[in-house]
Structure 1
Amino acid sequence: MSGDAGVVEGPLHGYHHETYVVPLPGRPGEAEPVRWKCREPRPGLLWFDRRCFASEEELLRALQGRIEGIPDLIQAGSAGLQRFIEGETLGALYGSGGGIPSSLLGQIVSLFGQLARVRPDSLAAERTCTSVYRAAEGDSDGFLERLILFTEEEVYQRNMPDFKGLFYDLGLDEASFGRLRERVSGLTRRPFHLLHADLHRENFVVDGMGRLWTIDWELAMFGDPLYDLATHLYLMRYPRDQEDRMTGQWRKAVESVVPGSSDGREKDLPKLLAFKRAQSVFTDVIRTALSLEEERTVDASLLARAGDRIRQVLSAATVPLGIKVPAAESVTAALGRWYEERAESAEVMAGAAVPGGA
């Protein structure tokens, strides 16, 4: 497409996709070439969140003119390209746990207001969530139950063949989900609208004019608006004063569009944040364990660091999951056993693949 393979950049760092950036001639009025990105899902990737739209590109096309600060799209032959936003991610400019300027906070609040205008019956984009994971309009309790069910079935149970021993060593048994349901059920009904569902610092790009762009919409869904706020607060790690400010401004933004969107927030926001902490336990345990297989050498210090990461997420979720955090040496030993079992299994499989192998 570019005419010169030497100017193609990539693959860029990213968990869900393999991304390449291609410069193409600008549109009329654009003197300089414009860079576009071409993305494909990484093969064999573990997905820990629901995907409710058939195509991110189709969703973005449907949102053109309705949501500000989303990438333009073009079709280049059979390839759909997103415009590459030139700038820095919010995380690169303002790291996790730090405050962000009021101008950028205001743009995030504005985004929440625009999302509230996109109701389930007003968007022409194919949805793929099955009825098992799709709650009835306004049923916030049912919406959260389906998120729990997805985590239980598609993250925990689906990965049991590879992680059962590690899960059990960490105290993560089947009863964990029953305890979680007891602690987070009973949400207030709220009208559903479009959620980005992954608004963290690396999914915001700040361009040279200070404009905020929102990228990576593959986890978007329709559902309880308070869940989008909870996910955002959990991932952003705002300082407490800015978290309170965001919560207050979010309420005004969504209520001005759809009254009732913030009903019950004082009671329900802590429950949704508790769910996010519990959900992260299962995904982070799997990701942390798998990261060991990417290392050339796994020694005691590496296992200890991985164990510290797991203990942190376990500590954050002790109440919603009703668990106790194992001692540091117990977590390290559990990771070591899991790694050795995986290595032995890989050796057996490699031997079986060789003619005459044992």
Structure 2
Amino acid sequence: MVEGPLQGYHHETYVFPLADEAGAASTARWKCREPRAGLLWFDRRCFDSEEQLLHALSGRITSIPGITEVGGLRLQRFIEGRTLGALRTSGRPVPGPLLRQVVGLFRELAGVTPETLVVKRRCEARDRPESGDTNGFLERLVRFTEESVYLSNLDAFATLFEDVGVDGDTFKNLRKHVSGLTERPFCLLHADLHRENLIVDPERRLWTIDWELAMLGDPLYDLATHLYLMRYPQWQARRLTGQWVSTVEEVRPGGSKGWRHDLGLLLDYKKAQSVFTDVIRAALSLDPEPGPGGRRPGRMGGKLHRILTEAAVPLGLESVPAPDRIAEALVRWRRTRGETGTGARTGP
């Protein structure tokens, strides 16, 4: 029996069992996915196919669900379990045994180097800086945010961006703020390790899903992204960082070099990136006539105020509008642009 569609952010997923060669039903279930209509991509993608990448990583990253091929179509095994986010919501500490498995995942990622991973890539040559060029790596991410998130949506969202206090000059401030990173040898990055992409099975084993944003690059960027998305308590973030440093250095010497200075800068980039993506998402998510539990302007104004406050330093913002002013700006945008059906556009 087919189960689905199961809603994810980027895909609708269908889950089903497969019979073995003798025709007997298997206890394992498999999944296939289709992109959701009206999909918003706010992150640069590197590899041509997630399934091809996972096939190449078989035996190297042990927390990846299995891959099988049926009629030329590669399917991923469906992990029976719950997301880490369902077990431990954002801000709560992660149990020690699971945290050790997260560190183990980082160990395996650090061992996958650019020269040992042969998979078709979709990104252009200019988006592939040489291993060690951490400044070039981050510049490509900044440029993607500037060109494919901010500029490509400026016609629709210019007044809203202005009302919340950001414009093209903020990218000049951001580049200046995050410059001067230490060189580090590159490795494979998952680049989207948050609680909903970590599945805990009934045996308390941790599995890693949704590798579509994976890339080759600065290992410290993967840690920064993970810390930003996970929202660990401060004491656990410090503990994980210490374990990450020692683990990565064992596998990829130099992979943590300069981390005390650079980790904060990479976290600042993630905070800045969030401003541009979340302003668009907030505007598009407002309910025309929100009922109980709907996305109300006041609620979204408070959320964007927190995000802008976090990013004020890297973006060079002298002040951040109050939550009610941001809510008013969202309402104005909806009245002037939302009724026309304007949506967001992002690059590949």
Bucket of the pairwise TM-score, normalised by the shorter protein: over 0.9
Q: How many Å separate the matches in 1 of 2:220 and 2:206?
A: 22
Quick one: distance in 2 between partners of 1:132 and 1:333? 41
Instruction: Give how far 1:44 is off.
Output: 3.1
Q: Which amino acid aligns with 1:157?
A: L
**Aligned twin of 1:184:** 178
What residue is the counterpart of 1:94 in the other structure?
A: 88
Q: Does residue 50 of structure 2 align to residue 39 of structure 1?
A: no
Mapped contact 2:17–2:26 kept (Cα < 8 A): no
Is contact 1:54–1:126 with CA below 8 Å preserved after alignment? yes
2:289 aligns with one of 297, 312, 319 = 297
Listed one character per residue, the Cα deviations across residues 172-227 of structure 1 (whole Å, up to 9, x for unaligned) are: 10000000111111000000000000111111001111111000000000000000
Report whether the alignment pairs 1:286 with 2:280.
yes
- Name the residue aligned to 1:116: 110
In 1, Cα distance between equivalents of 2:48 and 2:341: 35
Structure 2 distance, partners of 1:151, 1:127, is 20
Across the aligned residues of Structure 1 and Structure 2, the Cα RMSD in angstroms comes to: 1.8
Match of 1:351 in 2: none
Q: Give SS of 1:44's match.
A: coil
Q: TM-score, length-normalised on structure 1? A: 0.91
Whole-angstrom distance in 2 between the partners of 1:127 and 1:336: 41
- Greater C-alpha radius of gyration: 1
Measured in 2, the distance between the counterparts of 1:92 and 1:116 equals: 28
CA distance in 2, matches of 1:125, 1:284: 32
How far residue 75 of structure 1 moved from its aligned partner, in angstroms, is: 1.7
Q: How does 1:339-354 map to 2 (within 5 A)?
A: 339-346=334-341
1:141 corresponds in structure 2 to 135
> TM-score if structure 2 supplies the norm length?
0.93
Runs of 5+ unmatched residues, structure 1: 1-6, 348-358
- CA shift, 1:43, in A, is 3.0
Residue of structure 1 aligned with 2:255, choices 244, 250, 261: 261
Aligned counterpart, 2:303? 309
2:285 touches 2:295 (CA, 8 Å); kept in 1? Answer: no
Name the SS of the counterpart of 2:238 in structure 1. Answer: helix
Query: Shift of the alpha carbon at 1:332?
Result: 1.4
Cα distance between partner residues in 2 of 1:306 and 1:204: 27
Listed one character per residue, the Cα deviations across residues 309-333 of structure 1 (whole Å, up to 9, x for unaligned) are 1111111111111112112232111
Partner of 2:330: 335
* Mean CA deviation greater in 34-43 or 276-285: 34-43
For residues 1-358 of structure 1, what are the structure 2 equivalents within 5 Å? 7-25=1-19, 32-292=26-286, 295=287, 297-298=289-290, 302-323=296-317, 324-346=319-341
Amino acid in the other structure paired with 1:338: W
Answer whether contact 2:18 2:26 (CA < 8 A) is retained.
Answer: no
Q: Secondary structure at the match of 1:10?
A: strand
**1:31/1:18 CA distance change after superposition, 3 Å:** closer
Q: Find the aligned partners of 1:115 and 1:167 in 2 and give their Cα distance.
A: 37
CA distance in 2, matches of 1:171, 1:26: 59
CA shift for structure 1 position 56: 0.1
Gaps of 5+ in 2: 343-348
Q: CA 1:111–1:27 in 2, change beyond 3 Å: closer, same or farther? A: farther
Write the deviation string for residues 102-133 of structure 1: whole angstroms up to 9, x where unpaired: 11111110111111111101112111111232
301 and 154 in structure 1: CA distance in 2 versus 1, 3 angstrom threshold: closer
Q: Distance in 2 between matches of 1:59 and 1:195?
A: 12
CA distance in 2, matches of 1:245, 1:329: 37
Distance in 2, Cα, partners of 1:115 & 1:178: 32
Select the structure with the greater relative contact order (CA < 8 A; seq sep ≥ 6): 2
Alpha carbons 2:17, 2:25 under 8 Å: kept: no
CA contact (8 A) 1:90 1:206 kept: yes
The alpha-carbon distance between structure 1 residues 90 and 26, as it changes in their structure 2 partners (threshold 3 A), is farther
After TM superposition, give the deviation of residue 276 of structure 1 in Å. Answer: 0.4
Is residue 171–residue 315 contact of structure 2 (8 Å, CA) maintained in 1? yes
Kept after mapping to 2: 8 A contact 1:26/1:33: no
Matched residues, number: 338
| Secondary structure at the counterpart of residue 337 of structure 2 | helix
1:86 partner SS? coil
Name the CA shift for 1:255/1:301 in 2 (closer, same or farther; >3 Å): closer
How far apart, CA to CA, are the structure 2 residues paired with 1:214 and 1:301?
Answer: 30
